[in-house]
Amino acid sequence: DADVTQTPRNRITKTGKRIMLECSQTKGHDRMYWYRQDPGLGLRLIYYSFDVKDINKGEISDGYSVSRQAQAKFSLSLESAIPNQTALYFCATSETGGDQETQYFGPGTRLLVL
Amino acid sequence: AQSVTQLGSHVSVSEGALVLLRCNYSSSVPPYLFWYVQYPNQGLQLLLKYTTGATLVKGINGFEAEFKKSETSFHLTKPSAHMSDAAEYFCAVSERDSSYKLIFGSGTRLLVRP
pLDDT at A100: 77
pLDDT digits 0-9 by tens, A72-99:
999 999 999 999 999 999 999 998 877 7
pLDDT digits 0-9 by tens, B8-22:
999 999 999 999 999
pLDDT at A2: 67
pLDDT at B95: 80
Pick the residue from chain A with its C-alpha nearest to B101.
Answer: A45
From chain A, pick out residues whose CB is under 8 angstroms from the CB of B94: 101
Q: Band of the pLDDT at B1, cuts 50, 70, 90?
A: confident
CB of B20 within 8 A of CB of B43? no
From chain A, pick out residues whose CB is under 8 angstroms from the CB of B100: 31, 94, 100-101, 103
**B43-54: burial string, b at 16+ Cβ within 10 Å, e else:** bbebbbbbbeee
Nearest alpha carbon to residue B43 among A3, A76, A28: A3
Euclidean distance between CA atoms B69 and B26, whole angstroms:
11
- Cβ of residue B9 closer than 8 Å to a chain A Cβ: yes
Euclidean distance between CA atoms A79 and B62, whole angstroms:
44
From chain B, pick out residues whose CB is under 8 angstroms from the CB of A21: none
**Torsion sign across C-alpha atoms A109, A111, B3, B5:** positive
How many CB atoms are closer than 10 A to CB A96?
12
Pick the residue from chain B with its C-alpha nearest to A49.
Answer: B99
A101 to B99: CB separation less than 8 angstroms, yes or no:
no
Euclidean distance between CA atoms A88 and B14, whole angstroms:
30
Alpha carbon of B53: minimum distance to chain A alpha carbons (Å): 15
Pick the residue from chain B with its C-alpha nearest to A102.
Answer: B46
SS3 string of chain A? Answer: CCCEEEECCEEEECCCCCEEEEEEECCCCCEEEEEEEECCCEEEEEEEEEECCEEEECCCCCCCEEEEEECCEEEEEECCCCHHHCEEEEEEEECCCCCCCCCEECCCEEEEEC
Nearest alpha carbon to residue B67 among B80, B78, B53, B81: B53
Residue numbers in chain A where pLDDT is lower than 50: none
pLDDT at B96: 76
Phi, psi of B70 (to 5 degrees): -65, -25
